[in-house]
């Protein structure tokens, strides 16, 4: 079963603490939808390669770790929906003693990487990258000639679409009148804006983790596009910044992100404040629809009555896991909040857990 971001963070911290004496700790990453039997065959072949390791202790440790992973894979019918990360090795602190362990992790987001690595420490970068990603921001840079659409996921900027308008340069062809040339270019500009809007809709309209959209470009162009209401209302309401920049290509996306750092940093806090304000407002005005005691929330989860489950990052991890599983089973929204805002601190002091209900129980 896939784990939460907070559970993943704990696993990563634990795995970071283990160091091998030699190159003997094994990391295996299996992407979503990849054939688990193919990985099993690869690791069987690696056992043959391990026979060439000169050190008897290291050779035995590597072979034992590989066999432990292979045995686990044989018990799987297929790769889990989000892929699988496996780690195994002798983590004994005492020279000559064996403490062979195996960790299997189905991460909260789909794995896109396939890897086998034997090293002095576990390879954790793909999982660490997931810890940085709690939200996605849509990006658009544009002028009248071209536009580039992308998104920011964690620290990674992904380019999705590059477009050109086909609008002719300011030099008029064959004695065209100024007014006629203006009409043609304006018509082409509007068509270009519509095409940008259609592409934005394809990419972002149904993106569940989309937290906001940033639009960059010269002052008249981006404002014409946004104020002209080319974007659907749902996406217009997601626009959190209009940034003045000159480039409308991939470098423009990087400049857009750089100039929006302060804006992006504040978004998570804004979202957190909204969630907690809604909880405290419901608790004050409709106390039958907001719970903050563990026993009441557990009962509401079992009845399928929880619409939004809210938990502080410092809340009891065992109960957090239990409640998260119950909430996922009934399609509740799960919000994890910090203690870094006054609202978050007040919420933690109250109990550290809360629920907004769909109906009274």
DSSP annotation of 134 reads: S
* pLDDT, tens digit (0-9, with 9 covering 90-100), for 254-289: 999 989 988 887 666 777 888 999 999 999 999 999
Residues 169 and 127 placed together within one structural domain of the fold: no
| CATH number of the domain to which 27 belongs | 3.30.960.10
Per the structure, the count of domains in the chain is 3
Question: CA-CA distance, 149 to 135, in Å (whole number)?
Answer: 17
| Domain extent at residue 140 | 136-259
Domain membership flag for residue 46: yes
- pLDDT score for 33: 85
For the chain, what percentages of helix, strand and coil (3-state, to nearest 5) are there?
A: 45, 25, 30
Q: Are the C-beta atoms of residues 217 and 248 closer than 8 Å to each other?
A: yes
Considering the domain architecture, whether residues 237 and 281 belong to the same structural domain is answered as no
Q: Is 265 contained in some domain?
A: no
End position of a domain, from candidates 132, 166, 192: 132
Residue 128 shares a structural domain with residue 142: no
What are the DSSP calls for 246-299, one per residue?
Answer: S--SHHHHHHHHHTTHHHHHHHHHHHHHHHHHHHHHHHHH-GGGEE-SHHHHHH
Give 316-349 pLDDT, tens digit per residue: 888 988 998 899 889 898 888 888 778 889 999 9
Average pLDDT, the chain: 89
Domain boundary among 132, 148, 174: 132
**198 and 247 housed in the same domain:** yes
pLDDT at 244 over 70: yes
Secondary structure class of 351 (helix, strand, coil): coil
Ranges 73-77, 167-171, 236-240, 273-277: which has the least confidence = 167-171
Token pair of 112, please?
């896109």
SS3 state at 145: coil
The residue out of 64, 98, 132 marking a domain boundary is 132
For 251-262, the pLDDT digits (tens) are 999 999 989 988
Is 60 exceeded by the pLDDT of residue 175? no
Dihedral pair phi/psi, residue 88, rounded to 5°:
-150, 150
> In this predicted structure, which of 82-96, 154-168, 169-183, 214-228 has the lowest mean pLDDT?
169-183
The enclosing domain of 154 has a CATH number of 3.30.420.60
282, 347 in Cβ contact below 8 A? Answer: no
Please compute the mean of the pLDDT values over residues 121-134 and round it to a whole number: 83
- At 314, which CATH number? 3.30.1330.30
Q: Where are the beta strands (DSSP E) in 167-225?
A: 210-217
Residues 182 and 216 in one domain: yes
Distance CA 122, CA 106 (A): 16
The answer as to whether 264 is a domain residue is no
The H or E element containing residue 41 is helix 36-50
List, edge to edge, every strand of the sheet that includes 25-30.
100-105, 84-90, 25-30, 115-119
pLDDT-derived band at 9 (thresholds 50, 70, 90) equals confident
């Amino acid at each position: 079963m896939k784990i939460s971001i907070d559970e993943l963070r704990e696993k990563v911290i634990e795995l970071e603490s283990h160091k091998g004496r030699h190159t003997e700790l094994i990391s295996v990453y299996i992407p979503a939808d990849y054939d688990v039997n193919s990985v099993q065959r690869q690791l069987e072949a690696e056992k043959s390669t391990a026979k060439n390791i000169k050190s008897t202790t290291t050779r035995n440790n590597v072979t034992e770790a590989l066999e432990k992973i292979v045995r686990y894979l044989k018990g799987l019918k297929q790769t889990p929906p989000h892929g699988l990360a496996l780690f195994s090795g002798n983590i004994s602190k005492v020279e000559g003693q064996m403490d062979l362990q195996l960790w299997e992790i189905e991460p909260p987001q789909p794995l896109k990487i396939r890897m086998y690595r034997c090293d002095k420490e576990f390879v954790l970068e793909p999982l660490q990258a997931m810890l940085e990603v709690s939200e996605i921001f849509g990006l658009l840079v544009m002028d009248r000639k071209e536009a580039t659409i992308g998104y920011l996921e964690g620290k990674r900027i992904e380019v999705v679409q590059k477009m050109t308008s086909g609008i002719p340069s300011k030099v008029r062809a064959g004695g065209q009148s100024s007014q006629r040339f203006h009409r043609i270019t304006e018509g082409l500009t509007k068509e270009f804006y519509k095409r940008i809007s259609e592409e934005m809709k394809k990419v972002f309209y149904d993106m569940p983790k989309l937290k906001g959209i940033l639009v960059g470009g010269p002052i008249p162009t981006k404002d014409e596009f946004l104020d002209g209401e080319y974007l659907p209302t749902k996406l217009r309401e997601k626009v959190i910044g209009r940034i003045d920049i000159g480039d409308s290509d991939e470098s423009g996306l990087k400049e857009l992100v750089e100039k929006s750092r302060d804006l992006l940093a504040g978004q998570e806090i804004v979202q957190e404040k909204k969630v907690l304000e809604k909880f405290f407002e419901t608790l004050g005005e409709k106390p039958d629809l907001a719970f903050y005691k563990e026993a009441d929330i557990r009962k509401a989860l079992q009845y399928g009555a929880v619409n939004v489950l809210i938990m502080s990052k410092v809340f009891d991890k065992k109960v957090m896991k239990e409640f998260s599983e119950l909430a996922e089973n009934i399609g509740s929204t799960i919000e994890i909040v910090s203690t870094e805002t006054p609202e978050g601190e007040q919420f933690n002091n109250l109990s550290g857990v809360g629920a907004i209900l769909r109906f009274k129980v």
